[in-house]
Amino acid sequence: MKYKDNKGGISNGEISEGGIKMSFSVSSLIPISENFFWIGSNDRTTDLFEAIWPLPHGISYNSYFLADQKVALIDTVKDDTIDQYIEKIKHLSRKFGQVDYLIINHMEPDHSGAITILRSIWPQIRIVGNARTAGFLKEFYGITENIQIVQDTEEISLGKFRLKFFLTPMVHWPETMMTYEAVGKVLFSGDVFGGFGAMEAGLFDDEVDLAYYEGEILRYFSNVIGKYSSSVQRAIEKIKDLDIRLIASTHGPVWRSKPREIISRYNHWSRQEAENGVVVVYGSMYGNTKKMMDAAVRGINSQKIRNIRIHDISRAHLSYLIQDAWKYKVTLFASPTYDAHLFPPMAQFINMLERKGLKNRIMGIVGTYGWSGGALKPLHEFAEENNWELVEPVVEAKCSPTEEDLQRCYQLGQNLARHL
């Protein structure tokens, strides 16, 4: 099966793509190969994914239509993008017949949101998932009938297409699984290998600007999937011997040119390996902690380190801080004391890093206090509990840093840089 042959054409006054006559009311229906279509949606109106993570470039919910003697859908879309989704299924069903199976790789509502309406229109659809999927179907939607439970490595034949299921729990929920189509060698991987960012003009890795998506894929990984790194490692191990020609995840580009590249990136991030570079996260109410941060950054820069990303924690969203902390080997924390404790946004940042389970990084600490102090203790505890190597000197200034304090910050910057 070829994946480079979905170019459109005009014959007898009709526009076709992948052998199917196009209807412009369903123009976001994209042929992938013969009888295999992307029918997902591009959401450019939701501001926050999971009501937490910003979506400045939107997000795609990828769903797929496989037509054979039996017709199958793979996953669905979020409920507020359903209208066009249903139109696309109706359009394809007129040519290929009604849907027999709905394969649910993942029950999070950004992918299961259309199940209820699908069943109300086409009650014959048989939902395929594992035992954990069945629990969520009942608990989220009250669905208890017409469900086919599959076991790990079980197969379903659609005719020529053969679907094999691989249970990959906790990437990202307990029921998550992957579906491998053995003839076209397609891996429907669920959230794994996905990313933020609505698809713009293209869908495939070779027809979009991957540099544009790269940061959004890492941000998605670090914000949403990274906590489950060890499960991602188990999943990658489980699929390592599959011959994969195309990766069709639930978010972001479909990888047909370089499917191994996205596996390799996810492997790198889920092993929690880092690139050389420093992320600097500072909070400063009156500029004194910022002075110390600036001196430390000059020290880092003096060692010819150029990958330095500076975030004002009062203004940058946590999402981006986590992304950079995941990416780079070294983090510099610069925090004043507030209410005899860590500056509140910094406390939230280290709390989220702990929850995401990021280990084995290198860190430095600078900070200020007015009378009692208290900011540094939680940062020391964070280092110890999460196996982050703390580089000396830790510098804490009373009220405003002295020249000697700033010299020590500069020295800390140089010491951090020497770890790269």
Among 88, 219, 251, 291, binds ligand FEO (CB under 6 A): 251
Distance CA 99, CA 66 (A): 9
Distance CA 229, CA 357 (A): 9
Among 91, 111, 309, 361, binds ligand FEO (CB under 6 A): 111
* Binding residues for ligand FEO, total number by CB under 6 A: 8
Closest distance of CB 111 from ligand FEO, Å: 6
Long-range contacts of 89-98 (CB under 8 A, 24+ apart): 89/39, 89/65, 89/118, 91/23, 91/25, 91/26, 91/29, 92/20, 92/29, 92/37, 92/39, 92/65, 92/67, 95/20, 95/67, 96/35, 96/65, 96/67, 96/71, 97/67, 97/71, 98/71, 98/122, 98/124
Q: Per CB under 6 A, does 250 bind ligand FEO?
A: yes
Residues 6+ positions from 141 with CB-CB distance below 8 Å = 112, 115, 116
Cβ proximity to ligand FEO: between 222 and 337 the closer is 222
Cβ proximity to ligand FEO: between 181 and 191 the closer is 191
Cβ proximity to ligand FEO: between 112 and 335 the closer is 112
Distance CA 349, CA 314 (A): 11
Q: Is 242 helix (H, G, I), strand (E, B) or coil?
A: coil
Cβ proximity to ligand FEO: between 68 and 216 the closer is 216
Closest distance of CB 270 from ligand FEO, Å: 15
Closest distance of CB 251 from ligand FEO, Å: 6
Residues 6+ positions from 205 with CB-CB distance below 8 Å = 253, 254, 255, 256, 257, 258, 261, 262
**Strand ranges, E, within 63-184:** 64-67, 71-74, 101-103, 126-129, 147-149, 155-157, 162-167, 177-181
Cβ proximity to ligand FEO: between 118 and 391 the closer is 118
Q: Per CB under 6 A, does 191 bind ligand FEO?
A: yes
Cβ proximity to ligand FEO: between 68 and 110 the closer is 110
Q: Per CB under 6 A, does 175 bind ligand FEO?
A: no
Residue number closest to ligand FEO, CB atom: 108
Beta bridge partners of residue 10, listed in sequence order: 15
Identify the CA nearest to 82 among candidates 52, 49, 121.
Answer: 121
Q: Per CB under 6 A, which of residues 134..173 are in contact with ligand FEO?
A: 172
Distance CA 378, CA 354 (A): 12
Cβ proximity to ligand FEO: between 172 and 290 the closer is 172
Q: Per CB under 6 A, does 219 bind ligand FEO?
A: no
Q: Per CB under 6 A, which of residues 89..108 are in contact with ligand FEO?
A: 106, 108
Closest distance of CB 319 from ligand FEO, Å: 15
Phi/psi-derived region of residue 142, left when phi > 0, alpha when psi is between -120 and 50, beta in every other case? left
Closest distance of CB 194 from ligand FEO, Å: 7
Closest distance of CB 191 from ligand FEO, Å: 4
Closest distance of CB 108 from ligand FEO, Å: 4
Closest distance of CB 50 from ligand FEO, Å: 8
Among 68, 110, 175, 324, binds ligand FEO (CB under 6 A): 110
Question: Are 408 and 400 within 8 A, CB to CB?
Answer: no
Cβ proximity to ligand FEO: between 174 and 373 the closer is 174
Q: Per CB under 6 A, does 75 bind ligand FEO?
A: no
Per the listing, tokens 């042959």 go with 5
Cβ proximity to ligand FEO: between 40 and 401 the closer is 40
Cβ proximity to ligand FEO: between 161 and 193 the closer is 193
Amino acid identity, position 269: W
Per the listing, tokens 């949101």 go with 113
* Interacting residues toward ligand FEO by CB under 6 A: 106, 108, 110-111, 172, 191, 250-251
